Amino acid sequence: MVDLFVVDAGLLFSTWPQKNPDKKLVTTQAVIDEVLNRRSQRRIDEMLSTGRLRIEEWSPEARSRAEEEARKTGDLDELSEQDLDLLALALTLQKTSRDMTVASTDFAVLNTAISLGVAVLEPSGRFRHKIEWIFKCPACGKVLREAPPQMECPVCGTPMQRKSGERRRIH
């Protein structure tokens, strides 16, 4: 098993990197920019200078795919630009056949990553199920498994609501 982890800002600020000193970390420039704007950046600087944490580029194709998948799962509204960059990075690394895991505490990131076929880790272990969202029209009761365009009911045009459907254990 290759111990390479794609990490977001939340994870970098958690105690997880210190508790797992053997893990290699990779992230996006946007995450680093956010992290360096905060005060507790020394640890991050140190990890960058020792090469334990690296910044890598994601491909635009991977970014589109991540966005498309998040739209299907219904997680898109919950994801920031930075989250989508991170998912794009995971896909980009996966394409070059590098074994890695997305480590995050953000459920929308984890949910989309699983949908993209990317391995995930949620350090606290609270995320145990992939959430299969369903979309329900409050007016006519139409139910869809994928988010419709503009979240509008295809039957009557009413804005659809996202509901938690099935939950599938991920580990």
Which residues contact Zn ion (rule: CB under 5 A)?
A: 137, 139-140, 142, 153, 155-156, 158
Spatial separation of the C-alpha atoms in residues 40 and 51, rounded to whole Å: 19
Q: How far is the CB of 143 from Zn ion (least distance, A)?
A: 10
Residue among 36 and 140 whose Cβ is closer to Zn ion: 140
Quote the least distance from Cβ 144 to Zn ion, whole Å: 10
The helix (run of H) or strand (run of E) holding residue 33 is helix 29-36
Nearest alpha-carbon partner for 13 in 91, 97, 123 = 123
Nearer to Zn ion, 10 or 148 (CB): 148
Dump the DSSP string for 34-59: HHHTSS--HHHHHHHHHTSEEE----
Residue 145 CB, nearest approach to Zn ion (Å)? 15
**CB-nearer residue toward Zn ion: 36 or 139:** 139
